Amino acid sequence: MSNASEVIARRKLSDEVFDRLKAMIVNGGIAIGESMPSERELMTRFGVGRPAIREAMQALANLGLVTISHGERARVREVTPQAALRQVDPIAQLLLSTSPHSLEHLKEARSFFECGMVRRAAELATPDDVAVLRDLWERQHAAQGDAEAFIRADMAFHAKLAAMTGNPIYPVVSEAMLGWLQEYHTHMLIWEGRSEQTLAEHAEIIARIAASDPAGAERAMLRHLERSNHLYVHADAVAG
């Protein structure tokens, strides 16, 4: 008598087509920017109907591997860190919305990441980098009283720190984490009168970077995040 766990499930045709098309892209059979074969070509090659081809193409598009435009063949996209993390966005937002504990874990992860990142930025900072940070500080200072503009300037400040590391993955991760946190932050920051504190903390981070002081920049970032982390509040915590 066979065990139910050993039964091999029959796969959907579109899954088989997806695997073959994905292999063609990953193995370089179709280069970035090139068009995929037409639906008719693929139907003939794989011996399947149009629905299986379209479903497989949509799955590739959902992964960011191809771009589908009406009336044109799908084109292979370059896979970037931004595209990869965008696939995580819906899951991260769902996790955060349903679990207060996940929000606390994210805040801890962000602190760990940002502290290491600012240390690296301080090691590599040029005078031009410091000038840009100061310009961003001025923009944020001018945005006081406008919560949305203030938050945008805040995100630009942290994005610049990430870019200064020279690692293209850091800006993407920093932007993603800030984006996931943003909805828990906007309504708290200005209305609780915390803008001056944020500006003072950003100024200290800039000063430590300008002084080529990685350890000092890390300590300044840690103080900033430890103070500001409580501004990110889950709806369940507020209701409770």
What domains can be seen in the chain, in order of their start residue? 9-79 (1.10.10.10), 85-239 (1.20.120.530)
Work out the average pLDDT over 109-131.
95
Which residue carries 């300037």 as its tokens?
A: 153
> 80 to each of 112, 163, 169, 221, how far by Cα in Å?
24, 15, 9, 28
What is residue 109's predicted lDDT score, i.e. its pLDDT?
A: 87
Of residues 30 and 7, the one with the higher pLDDT is 30
Which residue carries 């008719």 as its tokens?
A: 40
Closest to 161 measured CA to CA, from 123, 195, 199 = 123
Which residue carries 């590599």 as its tokens?
A: 124
Compute φ and ψ for 205, nearest 5 degrees. Answer: -60, -45
Work out the average pLDDT over 62-74.
84
Range with lowest mean pLDDT among 17-21, 73-77, 90-94, 163-167: 90-94
What share of the chain has pLDDT > 90, as a percent? 43
- Residue 10 DSSP class: P
Which residue carries 């090691």 as its tokens?
A: 123
What share of the chain has pLDDT > 70, as a percent? 78
Integer distance in angstroms from the first to the last C-alpha of the chain?
54
Angstrom distance (rounded) from CA 165 to CA 103: 26
pTM score, whole prediction: 0.65
Burial 195-232 (b: 16+ CB within 10 A, else e): beebbebbebbbebbbeebbebbbbbbeebbeebbebb
- Residue 6 DSSP class: G
Calculate the dihedral angle through the C-alpha atoms of 179, 157, 110, 173, rounding to the nearest 10 degrees: 60
Q: Is residue 50 within a helix (H) or strand (E), and if so which, with residue range? A: helix 50-62
In the chain, the amino acid numbered 147 is: A
